Amino acid sequence: MNGSKRYAVPAKYFKRLAPFAFLLGVVFSFPWVSIAAQPPRILALGDSLTAGYGLDTDDEFPSQLQRKLIAMGFAARVLNGGVSGDTSAGGLARLDWALADRPSHAIIELGANDGLRGLDPVAMRANLDTIIRRLQSANIAVLLTGMRAPPNLGRSYESAFNKVFPELAKKHNVVFYPFFLSGVAARPALNLADGIHPNRDGVAVIVDRITPYVVRLLNKPKQE
């Protein structure tokens, strides 16, 4: 405006601000630069054991695990990617849909229905192998949980089924939790009336036992 005073900024102040202006220019020139690291988003890809068959939402495995991790200081979100009745083939078929939530980590809990239906362990291995490879190709760290075959299917089937999980974990160098239902299977007080699905207390036992492995997953460098 006419008549207003003009103040000159000494050149020395521009020199002091120059390095900061350069840094700000770098940050805002690259949209992929994040000021703060994003909290982990853990996809729990599974069947009814993950989905929470017969349970309230707050009692499901993903919900209880998320609360446990937050209480431990991990600002993590656990995404419920469980579908009741799903097999390893079903988990593979909907993997793209599950990845739409852009997880940074994944827990694979599949195989129980393959065993209950007596499906071919060779096909189950191929399905899980593909799931792991696709997750790793997307730079998603993986925790694989093991399952055990029903004993009524015979020793040959049981042996072929049970060895799939540790062998895949070793092949792909992923965090491995040997048996998802450890401490819960065949314990009536920790299961629903069907004797198969864990109740709220059973899920709490699963969460307590698997949490150290989830912490390893969160702390594992992505390049491993």
Predicted confidence (pLDDT) per residue in 47-90, tens digit: 999 999 999 999 999 999 999 999 999 999 999 999 999 999 99
Is position 194 annotated as part of the catalytic site?
Answer: yes
Residue 34 has a pLDDT of 38
In what order do the strands lie in the sheet containing 105-109? 77-82, 41-46, 105-109, 141-145, 175-177
Is position 114 annotated as part of the catalytic site?
Answer: no
Q: Where are the domains of the chain?
A: 41-218
Predicted confidence (pLDDT) per residue in 175-189, tens digit: 999 999 999 999 999
Single-letter amino acid code for the residue at 181 = L
Q: How far is CA 8 from the centre of its chain?
A: 58
From the candidates 29, 34, 156, 194, give the one annotated as an active-site residue. 194
What CATH superfamily classification does 41-218 receive?
Answer: SGNH hydrolase (3.40.50.1110)
Is position 84 annotated as part of the catalytic site?
Answer: no
From the candidates 47, 48, 86, 114, give the one annotated as an active-site residue. 48
Whole-prediction pTM value?
Answer: 0.83
